Amino acid sequence: MTANGTKQKPRKVLKTSGQSLKRSTGTAKSGKFQIVVSVRGGGTLRIRQQLGFTRPQFARLLPVSERSLAEIEKGGDAGESVTRSISQIQRLVAALEEVMESQVIGPWLNVPNASFDGLKPLEVIERGEIDRIWQMIYELRSGVAF
């Protein structure tokens, strides 16, 4: 109950790398890609496999070493920075699913794109310019030509 006597929706407590995060509502699935809140073990491996990325490709995306990624996929602690990167990739993939088929997201990330001055979207992310991809998603959602 809130202070004014109205009923409050229960909050789900989600754990990521030893920390608790509160989330009010939402779904755990978005199309084909499952949004994985826990980045320990199988969650990270699952998103990597769904994208069709090799360990070196996904490690570059986060960015972490291949060895660190292997440890995370085995259940090791991802750390706050990597957890944030994985969450960002999961949100991006969910948004991309709204504008393209799930099965083409991984390949699309690895193909040079004229909208990004000939860079692969993966390279755009690596350069810290993920906002360019979010802008493209916004324009596709709203029907604005770019």
Q: What is residue 21's predicted lDDT score, i.e. its pLDDT?
A: 34
Determine the pLDDT at residue 30: 47
pLDDT of residue 27: 36
| 85 alpha-carbon distance from chain centroid | 7
Residue 44 confidence class, pLDDT cut points 50, 70, 90 = confident
Q: Which of 54, 133, 63, 62 is nearest to 100 (CA)?
A: 133
Q: How many domains does the chain have?
A: 1
* Peptide bond preceding 63 in cis form (omega within 30 of 0): yes
pLDDT (0 to 100) of residue 31: 52
Give me the chain's average pLDDT, please. Answer: 78
- pLDDT band of 24, cuts 50, 70, 90: very low
Containing structural domain, residue 34: 13-142
Instruction: Give the burial string for 12-44 (b: 16+ CB within 10 Å, else e).
Output: eeeebbeeeeeeeeeeeebeebbbbbebbeebb
Q: Binning pLDDT at 50, 70 and 90, where does residue 18 land?
A: very low
Average pLDDT over residues 42-50: 80
Asked if residue 108 belongs to a domain, the reply is yes
Report yes or no on whether pTM surpasses 0.85.
Answer: no
Q: What six digits make up the tokens of 84?
A: 């944030």
| Residue 2 covered by a domain | no
> Is 44 part of any domain?
yes
Residues contacting 52, CB < 8 A, separation 6+: 106, 107
Instruction: Please say whether the beta carbons of 7 and 17 come within 8 A.
Output: no
| Contact status, residue 15 vs residue 78, Cβ threshold 8 Å | no
DSSP-assigned letter for residue 91: H
Site of tokens 């769904």: 50
pLDDT digits (tens, 9 = 90+) for 86-136: 999 999 999 999 999 999 999 999 999 999 999 999 999 999 999 999 999
Task: Give the Cα separation of 40 and 37 in Å (integer).
Answer: 9
